[in-house]
Amino acid sequence: MSEVTATDLYEVTMALSYLREGMQAPATFSLFVRDLPPGRGFLVAAGLAPALDYLSRFRVGGTDVEEFAEALRRPVEDLEPLDGLSFDGQVRAVPEGRLVLAGEPLLEVTAPLPQAQLVETYLLSLLCHQTAVASKAARCVLAAAGRPLVDFSLRRTHGPEAGMQAARLSSLVGFAGTSNVAAATRYGIPAAGTMAHAYIETFASEEQAFRAFARTHPGPVTFLVDTFDTDRGVATAARVLKDLGLGPGCGIRLDSGDLGALARRARTALDEAGLRDVQIIASGGLDEYGIDRLVRKRAPIDVFAVGTKVGTAADAPYLDAAYKLVEYDGRPVMKLSSAKVTAPGPKQVFRGPGLRDVIGLANEEPPEGTVPLLGTVMRGGLRTEPSDTLAAARTRFEADLAAMPDEARRIDRPTAPTPVVSTRLTVLTTAVRHRIEARTGTGQ
C-alpha cells in the first residue's frame, strides 16, 4: 500500500481541480472532534507522531499517478499535474498525551490548497483511531487507581498494525507493559506474558505443565490457574512455586469466572502457603467498568491485563472527527449544513486551570491564566523539533489528568468540561455566517 494512494478518491479529484484552476493559495484545515462519545469525560490527543512521519514522507511518486489514473479511468497524462507533489506546509498541533475536549482542534494544517486537501483522509485515519484508543486506555488507568495495567489487545485489534498502536497508546497513558513483542521492542515498552490454556492442556497434568514452564524459564514465572478448576489450580501453583523456592516476582493469572471472589480465595491460599510476594494477575474481557468494580470491591488483584475492549475502544470505536477548511487565501470560511455548522478561522485552545478551556482564534492573546495548547510542530514541511518520546507524552498526560475535574474523571457517566468560545471567535463566526447568507441567500 502506498501511503499516498491510501486516500479517498475525492481528495485526488479535488486536488487536480485546484491545480487546474490555479488555486494554490494557502488553506488552513482544522482537525477536531465535534462531540465526545457517551462514556467519555475527555479525550487523549494521540496519533501526532505517526501523522508527522506521514507528512514528512508525503510525496506523489512511483506508481501513484498511474494508480490515480486507473481509479479515475482517465489517461495518466491528465493526472500528471499531481506528480511530484509533496507536503511543505505548516502544522500546529496539540502534543500527544494532552487532554482535549469537544470542538478543540487536535491539529491544524496550513499549506497550498492541493497539498492540504490530499493529506486529509490519512490524517483522519491516524488521529481518529489513535485518540479513540488512547482515551479508552486512559479510563482504565483511572479505574485501576494506581494498580499496574498490561496491554493484551493484539489478537483483537483491527489487524496487527492497529495492535502496534494500541500497545504504544496504552503505554503513553501509563500502562506498565504489553504482550506485543514487536511493539515492546519498537517502542521500548516492557514485554509481559504468561501462558495459555493450550500450554497446560498439552501436558499430562497442570503440575507437570507448571514445572516444565519453570524449567524453560528460570527466574520469576506466572502460572495460569483456571484451565480446569481455579482453586485447585491455585493450590497446584503454590505447591510448585514453594517446591522450586520461587516467590518474589512470580504470579498467578485468573482469566475466567468471578475474578473478585477467585482472587480473594487465591490470595488467602497463597498467603497461607507463605507466598505473600506472589502477585495475582486478572484478565478476561476487562475494561474500565470491570476494573472499577473489582477495585471498589477491594479485590486483591495486583495487575490488570486488558485487551479486547481497550484495543478496539469497544464502546466508542470511532470519533465524530472532521477535517474542516477554516481559511482559504486569507478568507475565513465555514459550513452551514444542518447540525454540522463549523466555526471559521485558524484556532487556538487556551487552557485554564481545571481544564477550563477557551477556544479562540490562533492570533488572539491568551486569556489571563491560560496557556495555549497548539504549538507549531512542522514548518515548510519539516519538523520544528525532534520526535517526541512516549515518556514525555506520558508526563503531559499525567499532569492534565491530575488537573481534570472529578466529574470528567468519573468512570460511570462522566461529564466533560465544555470549552468556552472566545468573543473574537464568536464575532468572526457571526460575520462569516452573515457574509455567506448574504451571498447564497440562505438567511432568514
Q: Which of residues 7-26 bind a second copy (CB under 8 A)?
A: 7-14, 16-18, 20-21, 23
324 binds a second copy (CB under 8 A): yes
**Rounded least distance, CB 148 to a second copy, Å:** 16
Residues in 153-182 that interact with a second copy by CB under 8 A: 154-165, 179-182
Give whichever of 68 and 350 is closer to a second copy, judged by the CB atom. 68
Question: CB 6: neighbour CB atoms within 10 A?
Answer: 11
Nearer to a second copy, 296 or 340 (CB): 340
Say whether residue 195 binds a second copy (CB under 8 A).
yes
Question: Segment near a second copy (CB under 8 A), from 137-145, 266-274, 315-323, 352-360?
Answer: 315-323
Which of these ranges, 220-228, 287-295, 357-365, 371-379, lies near a second copy under the rule CB under 8 A?
Answer: 220-228
Asked if residue 246 binds a second copy (CB under 8 A), the reply is: no
- 249 touches a second copy (CB under 8 A): no
Binding flags for a second copy, 48-77, as an x/- string (CB under 8 A): -------------------xx-xxx-----
Residue ranges in 370-399 that form contacts with a second copy under rule CB under 8 A = none
**DSSP at 6:** S
Residues 273-312 that bind a second copy (CB under 8 A): 308-309, 312
DSSP H helices in 362-417: 390-403, 406-409
In angstroms, rounded to a whole number, what is the distance separating the alpha carbons of residues 66 and 75? Answer: 9
For the purposes of burial, counting CB atoms within 10 Å of the CB of 426, is it exposed (0-12), middle (13-18) or buried (19 or more)? middle
d(CA 325, CA 343): 10
Residue 1 binds a second copy (CB under 8 A): yes
- What are the C-alpha distances in Å from 39 to residues 36, 341, 416? 8, 24, 9
Rounded to an integer, what distance in angstroms lies between the CA atom of residue 254 and that of residue 270? 14
| Of the candidate residues 26, 39, 148, 193, the single one contacting a second copy (CB under 8 A) | 193
| Torsion angles phi and psi, residue 90, rounded to 5 | -110, 145
Q: Which is nearer to a second copy, 146 or 330 (CB)?
A: 330
How many other CB atoms are there within 10 angstroms of residue 301's CB atom? Answer: 26
Q: Which stretch binds a second copy (CB under 8 A): 98-106, 326-334, 353-361, 367-375?
A: 326-334
Which residue, 158 or 410, is less far from a second copy as judged by CB? 158
Can residue 261 be called a binding residue for a second copy (CB under 8 A)? no
Q: How many residues bind a second copy (CB under 8 A)?
A: 112
Residues 198 to 217 in contact with a second copy, rule: CB under 8 A = 198-199, 201-202, 204-206, 212-213, 215-217
Q: What is the DSSP letter of 117?
A: H
> Cβ closer to a second copy: 271 or 329?
329
Which residue's CB is nearer to a second copy, number 110 or number 165? 165
Write the DSSP symbol of residue 36.
P
Residue 184 within binding range of a second copy, rule CB under 8 A:
yes
DSSP structure string for 209-262: HHHHHHHHS-S--EEE--SS-HHHHHHHHHHHHHHTT--TT-EEEE-SS-HHHH
Which residues, listed in sequence order, are joined to residue 47 by a DSSP beta bridge? none
Taking each helix axis from N to C end, the angle separating 230-243 and 206-216, rounded to the nearest 10 degrees, works out to 40
CA gap 270, 236 in Å, rounded: 11
Residue 83 binds a second copy (CB under 8 A): no
Query: For residues 318 and 34, what is the distance between their CA atoms, to the nearest angstrom?
Result: 12
H-type alpha helices, 37-118? 48-57, 64-72, 76-79, 113-118
Smallest separation (angstroms) from a second copy to the CB of 248: 16
Q: E strand or H helix at 123, and its extent?
A: helix 120-144
Nearer to a second copy, 170 or 230 (CB): 230
Q: Does 96 participate in binding a second copy (rule CB under 8 A)?
A: no
- Burial of 126 (C-beta count, 10 Å sphere; 0-12/13-18/19+): buried
Of the candidate residues 115, 131, 227, 348, the single one contacting a second copy (CB under 8 A): 227
Instruction: Enumerate residues 110-149 that contact a second copy by CB under 8 A.
Output: 113, 117, 120-122, 124-126, 128-129, 133
* Sign of the torsion formed by the C-alpha atoms of 420, 332, 319 and 393: negative
Task: Provide, rounded to whole angstroms, the least separation between the CB of residue 154 and a second copy.
Answer: 5
